[in-house]
Copies of this chain bind each other. A is one copy, B any other.
Amino acid sequence: MGDSDSDMDYYGSQISNLIEQLGSLPGIGSKTAQRLAFHIISMPPERVEALAASLTQARRNVRYCKECGTLTDQELCPICSDLKRDHRTIMVVESSRDLAAYEKTGHYNGVYHVLQGVISPQLGIGPSDIRLKELMQRLQGDVDEVIIATGSSLEGETTAMYISRLVKPTGIRVTRIASGVPVGGDLEYIDEVTLLRALDGRVEL
C-alpha cells in the first residue's frame, strides 16, 4: 500500500488515491486502475457524480430477498414479486450470480432459492449454515418441483444429495440439472446453451 502510494506521487494525492481505491477492487490491476482513473477524471462531472451515487445507493440499500434470499434492493426481489412466474417450480442455486446465469438464458420461468453457499466440510460449512431451513419452509406451500442447480463441484454435488434426501420425504418432485455442466465448473462462466441443455436434461433424483 505504502509502495503503490509513493509510486503514484507524480499525479498528486487525490488522483493517486483514486487509482489506489480502484486498484483494491478484485481483478483490477494497477494498469487497469490507472486507465479507469484517467477515464473517470475525463468524464463529465455529472456522470462521475452519478457513478459515485450508484455505488453508495446500491450499498446502502442492498439486502436479501425475504423469499428466495437473492441479493436485491427491495424487500421482495423482482422475480419473487412477479406473478407471471411459476411459483410452484423452485430452482435451488448456490448464489445470486448463479441465479443471474440462469436468468440470462431467458428460458426459465420458475422461481429460485438462493442457498448463499454450499455444504463444505473442509471450510466448516454445514447444512445449517446455508439457507436450507428457509427452503423447507417454502416447500410447505404449493410446490410441484425442486430443481437442484448447485454446481458440479464436490461441494455442489454433496449439497445436491443432501437437499434431495431432505426434500424427497415431502413427496415433491426433486430434479438435478444434467451434468452437461462441466465437472468442477463455475456455473456463472458457462455458456447459455450448455446451461439450457443441462436444464432440459435434468433427471429425477
Contact = CB atoms under 8 A, between A and B. Distances in A.
A55 B188 contact: no
Interface stretch (A44-52, A162-170, A174-182): A44-52
Interface residues of A, number: 59
Interface in A68-122: 70-74, 77-79, 96-97, 99-100, 103-104
Chain copies in the assembled complex: 2
B58 A14 contact: yes
Given A10-B78, A18-B57, A21-B50, 16 more contacts: A11-B70, A11-B71, A11-B100, A12-B72, A12-B77, A13-B73, A14-B62, A25-B36, A26-B36, A27-B32, A37-B58, A41-B62, A43-B59, A45-B60, A48-B56, A52-B56
